[in-house]
Chains A and B, each alone.
Chain A
Amino acid sequence: MSRCPAATGSAWREGRCSRAAPSEGLRDIGAFNIRIARDVRGAAAPLLPHIADRARRSVLSTLIVAPPQQGKTTMLRDIIRAVSYGDWPMPEARNWPARKVGVVDERSEIAACVRGVPVFDVGPRTDVLDACPKAEGMMMLLRSMSPELLAADEIGRPEDADAIREAAHAGVPVIATAHAGDLQDARGRTAIRRLLDEGAFAAVVELRRRGAATDVPRRAADSGGARADRACGRRWSMLKLAGAILVLLSGTLIGFRQAARYADRTAQIRQLIHALQRLETEIGFGHTPLPEALERPPRARRNRSPRCSGARRRGCAKAEPPSATPCARRSTKAGP
């Protein structure tokens, strides 16, 4: 715990895309999402008049709800800074005192402490409990640091709610942020709904980005980057699917071709036998001279495969009647 001097600079936080197994931590890291925290001085100036507690010259207990990327933490940080410096933007608050602020920075996103020194300027009267669980941290601050304002980021668990209730009973205003699209959304979360119902917060602020991002759908729970990632992933898996189908198809086709070769061979031999039978008929009953028999129109020998008939034709033999002339011999070195 340290009472912080002013310091500025930049800090970043990172998200990892990986399997998050509770027992093993993060595994199979595939990507990093680096989020650079932005320090916007004066971001809270327009808001402070609305959440000012004029009776006690401080700020009201406030819940800031917004989807991610809308500036919750940035706003919270600037409120802390303004209150801690006593930098009240309202004219009537010129002589309001600066207040001691207790910050429970569980995820090191508000002050971004590095070795106990906050990277961001959170004001001279600010106590930062770095990397401390919110619920216990708030109780510790309440007990020992006499804060006049408590701040915590991203509340939502039942213990957080208990601690905030405790602070409310101790008369210390609490400024907290919560992930939610809007107030309606926030009421859907049990812990937050109970806090709201009990009146632990005097004000609720919905943040919405101005300018380019205003037309981001109100409920968009993630940034465009994540959407693009998902689209890219879908395209990639489509490509893989197509590749798999192609490989499967070609493999099956090769198999069928090999099988067809066996079938072809059977058919070829059958045709050959048929052709020989025709030839036998021609010689035995038709007494057709061999060249003529071999060159019979396809009607007679339509089944003979061209290769065989070529070979046969070269064997220019005259098989017919009595004698085979010597010249009839030969050149039957057929065979392709």
Chain B
Amino acid sequence: MREPERSAVIRLGDALGISDREDQIRHLRLAAALLQAEEAGARDEQARYGKMWRSLGFMAALLVVILML
């Protein structure tokens, strides 16, 4: 869990249980919306960096091997 989603959950924890039902539901929706935005960002990052890391790891290993031989 990274900073943005952590803060969203903490904020929800602060608000949870201090008011009536509708208010609670609003808070829950707010948190869900925040998290949804985060999820979209995370998905984007995953697509972008996931592949990069995979090939980077392999390439770095290849480089080390070539340097060693």
Distance, CA A280 to CA B27, complexed state (A): 9
What mask results when residues 30 to 69 of chain B are scored 1 for a CB within 8 Å of chain A, else 0?
Answer: 0110011011001101100111011111101110110011
B69 engages A256 (CB within 8 Å): no
Distance, CA A258 to CA B32, complexed state (A): 27
A16 within 8 A of B: no
B69 engages A263 (CB within 8 Å): no
Interface of A (DSSP majority class): helix
A299 within 8 A of B: no
Distance, CA A281 to CA B24, complexed state (A): 11
B13 engages A332 (CB within 8 Å): yes
Counting chain B residues whose Cβ lies within 8 A of the other chain, the interface size class is 35 or more
Residue of B nearest to A243 (CB): B68
Interface of B (DSSP majority class): helix
Please name all residues of chain A whose beta carbon is closer than 8 Å to the beta carbon of B2 when the two chains form the complex. 265
Stretch in A119-127, A189-197, A318-326 with 4+ CB within 8 Å of B: A318-326
Distance, CA A336 to CA B13, complexed state (A): 12
Partner of A280, one of B29, B43, B51, B56: B29
Contacts A247-B64, A250-B61, A319-B21: A266 and B13 contacting too (C-beta < 8 A)?
Answer: no
Distance, CA A247 to CA B60, complexed state (A): 10
A273 within 8 A of B: yes
Residue of B nearest to A237 (CB): B69
Distance, CA A272 to CA B12, complexed state (A): 12
Partner of B42, one of A269, A287, A308, A321: A269
Stretch in A17-25, A88-96, A224-232, A309-317 with 4+ CB within 8 Å of B: A309-317
Nearest 10 pairs between A and B by C-beta?
A317-B17, A255-B57, A251-B61, A334-B13, A258-B53, A262-B46, A259-B50, A269-B39, A332-B13, A259-B53
